[in-house]
């Protein structure tokens, strides 16, 4: 297996916030904490409005892991970045380091205004025993140990948000872009597959007569 990744298709996301709701419901995330959120640019501009769903991207070289002073982060065998809440001191360094704003801090807890960090776990729970009550209470549901994928991706009505093995979701996305012939600019199609020109588009699929 490669690495577990999320990919959000900006051409499909309709800003319904179903992923946010699914995450909060599945993991019983407390008030004030949003492990996932939908970001919209050019809001209200006809034809230019784009939305993507953002959470922890489970970086291969995670900055949160690099800056944590108590080394509470670890990476699972399938590339999911998780942390041990029993070690976290709620300092917030990971929040400043993360380019996606993924780490969240509950506003009430043992540390007063800034509790222990909470973030997307790719529905993989934490270091407590898999599928135990303790794991659910601290980190949410461990869907990977149930043979399932993250609730946000599986709940997405337009399948804009894909989650799973990076190789597989990249294949799904590539085939999708080839069929519709557009919508890859955000993700650097030209850099990855094209001739290397900025904004290069994939070849048009052959039309069936």
Partner 1 sequence: MRPVFAFLIFVFISGITACGEREQVVEQQSEKRYQGKRDGKPWDSAPLAAEFRGGTWTKGNQQSWEEQIKQRQLGQHEHKRIYQ
Q: How far is the CB of 76 from partner 1 (least distance, A)?
A: 5
Q: How far is the CB of 168 from partner 1 (least distance, A)?
A: 5
Q: Please state the separation of Cα 92 from the chain's center in Å.
A: 19
Q: In sequence order, what are the residues at sequence separation of 6 or more whose Cβ sits closer than 8 angstroms to the Cβ of residue 209?
A: none
Should residue 70 be labelled a site residue for partner 1 when binding is judged by CB under 8 A? yes
For residues 189 and 28, give the distance between their C-alpha atoms in angstroms, rounded to a whole number.
37
Question: Which of residues 25, 40, 42, 60 is near partner 1 by CB under 8 A?
Answer: 60
- Considering only residues 97 through 136, tell me which ones interact with partner 1, judged by CB under 8 A: 124, 126-131
Which CB atom, from 25 or from 107, has the smaller least distance to partner 1? 25
Q: How far is the CB of 102 from partner 1 (least distance, A)?
A: 18
Q: Which of 187, 26, 13 is nearest to 121 (CA)?
A: 26
| Strand partners for 52 | 39
Question: Which of residues 63, 67, 74, 136 is near partner 1 by CB under 8 A?
Answer: 74
Should residue 183 be labelled a site residue for partner 1 when binding is judged by CB under 8 A? no
Q: Are 180 and 159 in contact (CB under 8 A)?
A: no
Which CB atom, from 131 or from 182, has the smaller least distance to partner 1? 131
Q: How far is the CB of 143 from partner 1 (least distance, A)?
A: 8
Should residue 77 be labelled a site residue for partner 1 when binding is judged by CB under 8 A? yes
Question: Which of residues 28, 43, 49, 175 is near partner 1 by CB under 8 A?
Answer: 175
Which CB atom, from 168 or from 186, has the smaller least distance to partner 1? 168
Q: By CB under 8 A, which span of 17-25, 98-106, 138-146, 182-190 interacts with partner 1?
A: 138-146
Kindly state the tokens that stand for 149. 């994928």
For residues 196 and 35, give the distance between their C-alpha atoms in angstroms, rounded to a whole number.
35
For residues 205 and 71, give the distance between their C-alpha atoms in angstroms, rounded to a whole number.
48
Q: Which of 1, 170, 20, 134 is nearest to 78 (CA)?
A: 1
Number of residues that bind partner 1 (CB under 8 A): 47
Q: Are 140 and 125 in contact (CB under 8 A)?
A: yes
For residues 131 and 127, give the distance between their C-alpha atoms in angstroms, rounded to a whole number.
11
Q: How far is the CB of 144 from partner 1 (least distance, A)?
A: 4
Should residue 28 be labelled a site residue for partner 1 when binding is judged by CB under 8 A? no
């Amino acid at each position: 297996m490669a690495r577990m990744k999320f990919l959000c298709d900006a051409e499909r996301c309709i800003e319904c916030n179903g992923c946010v709701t699914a995450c909060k419901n599945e993991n019983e995330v407390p008030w004030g904490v949003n492990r996932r959120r939908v970001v919209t640019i050019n809001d209200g501009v006809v034809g230019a409005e784009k939305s993507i769903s953002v959470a922890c991207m489970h970086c291969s070289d995670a900055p949160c892991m690099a800056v944590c002073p108590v080394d509470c982060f670890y990476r699972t065998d399938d590339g999911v970045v998780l942390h041990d809440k029993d070690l976290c001191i709620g300092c917030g360094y990971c929040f400043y380091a993360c380019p996606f704003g993924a780490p969240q801090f509950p506003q009430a807890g043992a540390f007063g205004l800034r509790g222990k960090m909470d973030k997307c776990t790719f529905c993989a729970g934490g270091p407590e025993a898999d599928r135990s009550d303790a794991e659910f209470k601290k980190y949410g549901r461990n869907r990977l140990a149930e043979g399932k994928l993250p609730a946000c991706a599986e709940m997405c009505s337009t399948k804009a948000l894909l989650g799973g093995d990076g190789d597989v979701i990249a294949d799904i996305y590539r085939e999708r872009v080839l069929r519709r012939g557009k919508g890859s600019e955000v993700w650097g199609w030209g850099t990855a597959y094209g001739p290397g020109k900025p904004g290069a588009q994939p070849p048009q699929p052959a039309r069936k007569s």
